[in-house]
């Protein structure tokens, strides 16, 4: 099977471009492949094997065949393998970062942080799986014992996104492997090389043949529709858009399949009347323009109390002016390109619609000269609250500012959405901050910090933003059956 070469500070290394099925790298049965582009240049990096339905079935066959033996391994065995993968990812963090920066445009510093985050996720699951002891207790009425134990749910289909290819892969695959599940991994067709390197590392760490299988494709709907109707598949985990997640849930319903969905967001960032404004402005800028705004937990609507709005706006615009647009592989870049021309066109469409409906552009709004899918960091204000830019996930380097007359109005605006993934609240008054956090209709809240994700914390949303949790103590349990055994005494 073919490979493509990259160069990092560690030297040159190769990444496989094929499918990984039953412990072997292979071409697609049809011989088909698809191009992977560098979004900073719009040029092709390489061709990657395009898994057809037949290939995906072979991958599921391999996962099913390996399930019994993998599920019977001890927690110590699985822990040791995940720990080895953790150490290998740390050793190769620069390699992983260069692949991410090349195929999706993420700045190198952010890409390396993602690689180390992925390693931390595997370490967390390697540690947690050894503490799943179940329960043994006398029945309240006496005469028997109540015993609970954990078993793997079975072969799992993991669909990962392009914006955090290795950390999302580690979050899903790490939990599944720790639980004793075999997996079929479907990476985004925009970032298959990162996931290929991740799978190479898992294999090197000792994951047996058939336990992890990789099937990139440009026809995800056909692949998922075929796999989801197979009764042998017992779990689906998806990170991506709400419409696609909804479709997968419909497909999962026929076989009553266990499902975890991390879907779209419309993250409100609230700067309340008693906020540390400089702290809030710096936090908002870093959060909004991280990964060129292509983050599900990004600040989508920045809602500022009128009493601090002018000060916030001034500092925020100063922070935006310091950002440097460029290729992800350039060490000086702080904002890379959008992942594709379609993504850039979509964000520009949201921006144009906002301007047509009365929004004012305070910074950016244009594209730098040259190749690639770049959009300069942009700030707008006064977009109508029912406009597309306010009601959908921007997923690009565009910050939209809104002024609230009161803290209560800020919360009302924040909750006026069908989504409920994450929100952020800035206030130096702890009671004010907690009242807001408890009133926000979201699954996660960041108080005075522009971050919520952590291997030890449950990650997930409510409403149209999904169901289930990833990470934390819940992460492994999403891939397990809690079995009850009652025993007479």
Active site residues: 262, 296
Q: How many CB atoms lie within 10 A of CB 145?
A: 14
Instruction: Tell me the CA distances in angstroms from 389 to 228, 286, 321, 357, 410, one per residue in order.
Output: 34, 20, 22, 10, 17
Q: Bridge partners of 303?
A: 270, 402
- Write out the two tokens for 244: 């696609």
404: left (phi over 0), alpha (psi -120 to 50) or beta: beta
- Tokens 């070469």 belong to which residue? 5
Nearest alpha-carbon partner for 197 in 110, 97, 50 = 97
DSSP string of 195-230? Answer: HHHHHHHHHHHTPPTTTEEE---S-HHHHHHHHHT-
Under 8 Å between Cβ of 391 and 283: no
Backbone angles phi and psi of 443, in degrees to 5: -85, -20
Long-range CB pairs of 12-18, under 8 A, 24+ apart, other chains included: 13/92, 13/95, 15/99, 15/193, 15/196, 15/197, 15/200, 16/196, 16/200, 17/46, 17/47, 17/48, 17/49, 17/193, 17/196, 18/48, 18/49
CA angle (367 as vertex; 393, 96 as ends), nearest 5: 65
Q: Bridge partners of 236?
A: 157, 259
Nearest alpha-carbon partner for 177 in 162, 193, 155, 200 = 155
- How does DSSP classify residue 92? T
Using alpha carbons only, how large is the chain's radius of gyration in Å?
23
CA atoms within 13 A on the CB side of 419: 28
CA atoms within 13 A on the CB side of 310: 1
Q: Bridge partners of 483?
A: 149
Element (H, E) at 286: helix 277-289
Burial (0-12, 13-18, 19+ Cβ within 10 Å), 330: middle
Q: How many CB atoms lie within 10 A of CB 206?
A: 14
Burial 265-281 (b: 16+ CB within 10 A, else e): bbbbbbbbbbbebebbb
What is the Cα–Cα distance from 143 to 156, expressed in whole angstroms?
Answer: 39
Determine what percent of the chain falls in helix, strand and coil, rounding each to the nearest 5.
40, 25, 35
């Amino acid at each position: 099977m073919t490979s493509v070469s990259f160069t990092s500070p560690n030297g040159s290394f190769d990444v496989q471009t094929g499918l990984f099925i039953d412990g072997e790298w292979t071409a697609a049965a049809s011989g088909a492949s698809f191009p992977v582009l560098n979004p900073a240049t719009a040029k092709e990096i390489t061709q990657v094997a395009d898994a057809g339905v037949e290939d995906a079935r072979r991958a599921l066959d391999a996962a099913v065949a390996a399930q019994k033996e993998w599920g019977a391994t001890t927690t110590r065995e699985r822990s040791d393998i995940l720990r080895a993968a953790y150490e290998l990812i740390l050793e190769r963090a620069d390699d992983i970062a260069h692949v991410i920066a090349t195929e999706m445009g993420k700045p190198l510093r952010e890409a390396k942080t993602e690689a180390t985050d992925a390693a931390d996720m595997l370490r967390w699951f390697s540690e947690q799986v050894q503490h799943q002891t179940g329960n043994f207790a006398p029945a309240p009425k006496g005469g028997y014992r109540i015993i609970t134990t954990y078993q793997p749910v079975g072969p799992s289909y993991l669909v990962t996104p392009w914006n955090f290819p290795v950390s999302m892969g580690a979050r899903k695959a790490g939990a599944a492997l720790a639980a004793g599940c075999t997996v079929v991994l479907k990476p985004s067709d925009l970032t298959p090389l990162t996931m290929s390197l991740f799978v190479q590392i898992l294999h090197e760490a000792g994951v047996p043949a058939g336990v992890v299988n990789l099937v990139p494709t440009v026809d995800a709907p056909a692949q998922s529709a075929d796999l989801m109707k197979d009764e042998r598949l017992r779990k689906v985990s998806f990170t991506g858009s709400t419409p696609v997640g909804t479709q997968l849930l419909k497909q999962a319903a026929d076989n009553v399949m266990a499902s975890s969905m991390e879907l779209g967001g419309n993250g409100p960032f609230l700067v309340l009347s008693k906020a540390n404004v400089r702290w809030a402005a710096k936090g908002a800028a870093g959060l909004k323009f991280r990964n060129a705004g292509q983050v599900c937990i990004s600040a989508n609507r920045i809602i500022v109390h009128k009493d601090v709005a002018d000060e916030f706006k001034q500092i925020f615009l100063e922070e935006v002016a310091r950002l440097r647009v460029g290729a992800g592989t350039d060490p000086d870049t702080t904002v890379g390109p959008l992942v594709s021309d379609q993504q850039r066109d979509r964000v520009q469409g949201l921006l144009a619609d906002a301007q047509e409906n009365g929004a004012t552009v305070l910074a950016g709004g244009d594209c730098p000269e040259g190749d690639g899918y770049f959009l300069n960091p942009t700030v707008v204000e006064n977009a109508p609250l029912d406009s597309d830019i306010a009601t959908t996930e921007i997923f690009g380097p565009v910050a939209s500012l809104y002024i609230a007359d009161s803290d209560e109005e800020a919360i009302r605006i924040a909750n006026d959405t069908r989504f409920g993934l994450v929100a952020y609240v800035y206030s130096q008054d702890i009671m004010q901050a907690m009242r807001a956090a408890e009133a926000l209709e979201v699954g996660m809240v960041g108080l005075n910090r522009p971050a919520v994700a952590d291997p030890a914390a449950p990650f997930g949303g409510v409403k149209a933003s999904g169901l289930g949790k990833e990470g934390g103590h819940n992460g492994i349990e999403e891939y397990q059956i809690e079995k009850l055994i009652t025993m007479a005494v």
